[in-house]
Amino acid sequence: MNIAKKAFATYRKYWTSKLAASFTFVVFTLASLAIGLFGSYVFLILVPIIVLPIFVCLQLINSAFAKGMALTQKNFFSFYRSAFTPTMNGAYQVITSFLKAALVYLAMSFLVIIIMTQVFLTRSATFASEIDSMTALIANGGFQEALDAYESNATIIFISSISTLVSGGLSLLVFLHFIGRNTIVPHLAISMAALPGRIAYSVHRQGLKIFKHEFNSDYYKSVWIGIPLVLCGFTGGVLATYFFTNNAYLILLAGFAGAFILITPFLPYFLDVIEEIFKKYKDRYVQVSIDQAKKVYEEIKAASEMNEEQRQEIDKLINDLKNQSEKGNDEEKDSQSEE
């Protein structure tokens, strides 16, 4: 049975609880987006306080259903504090992913606006005349008049909306791509005696250098359906606000809201896929961590003499990782025999 089928089987078994948990996360996300109407800085503040911790709650309780945990409000929010522990700190790499997505947004916005403006300038004499009028107003010091003409110009509003649709949708996909692949890191951190999230991410990144092609194949074959869902939801949100405002920020928020609404039933399946992928690659990740520990061991030995206490600590770390790998193999064999 491949990863997608295993994940779907788990999803189907606990689908009511999983959907309810996913709905809770999306409601909190939509509420954060709504509060973000007061300013972009407000939404950015709410991400580490509300959105990310509630996503941690969703991921952890989504895994706990198979272990017999019931879906209650208390059980769901019992994982909230976990988001602020060293185990989760740096696991998802939210800031790095956001900066990459922001760069994509700025680059695509610039490219789309330049291309579309040139097309309209060459094909529409009226638009070219309007741009000349704005330029003349600026040259004569009429900056406010030029700004008013710019903001009320139908062609410019259309270009801006298309730019928001294209660049916003693509940057959202880029952000979810990086966050999505990093959702395996909490599993990795928890499985290795609460390894700090940043170190677990380092193991994940090093592991991808070794088995990136196979990992990506398993990942995208299982979650590709999420791409059209995100794009359709984002497009729907943008179109829903197109006739009511030309504020790019408000349009973006509506697009994000539409995307999250549409992927609500997809999120639990996605998290089940991530868990199945982790089960498949766990031993390889453990081996990567063992290799990294040995490398540090050799570097310390080469740099200076190691005392007996330091040597014992590193030996214990390596042995613990090996024992976890062997334990994981035994558990996998037991689960396969039960099936």
Query: What is the average pLDDT score of the chain?
Result: 85
- Predicted confidence (pLDDT) at residue 319 exceeds the cutoff of 50: yes
Q: How confident is the model at residue 30 (pLDDT cuts 50, 70, 90)?
A: very high
Distance CA 75, CA 192 (A): 23
Identify which of 229, 228, 251 has the alpha carbon closest to the alpha carbon of residue 240: 251
- Predicted confidence (pLDDT) at residue 303 exceeds the cutoff of 60: no
- Predicted confidence (pLDDT) at residue 336 exceeds the cutoff of 50: no
Please report, for residues 33, 226, 267, the alpha-carbon distance to residue 124 in angstroms, rounded to integers and kept in the order given.
Answer: 38, 39, 45
Between 321 and 244, the more confident residue is 244
Distance CA 183, CA 101 (A): 17
Residue 49: the pLDDT is 92
Residue 322: the pLDDT is 65
Residue 314: the pLDDT is 65
Distance CA 315, CA 296 (A): 11
Tokens of 291: 């290799």
- Residue 238 buriedness (CB in 10 A; 0-12 / 13-18 / 19+): buried
Residue 304: the pLDDT is 56
- Predicted confidence (pLDDT) at residue 338 exceeds the cutoff of 50: no
pLDDT digits (tens, 9 = 90+) for 144-202: 787 777 777 788 888 888 888 999 999 999 999 999 999 999 998 888 766 788 888 98
Between 319 and 155, the more confident residue is 155
Distance CA 246, CA 217 (A): 40
pLDDT digits (tens, 9 = 90+) for 78-128: 999 988 988 888 889 999 999 999 999 999 999 999 999 888 888 888 888
Its sign, for the CA torsion 34, 58, 49, 219, is negative
- Predicted confidence (pLDDT) at residue 134 exceeds the cutoff of 90: no
DSSP 8-class letter at 247: -
Mean pLDDT of 209-231: 93
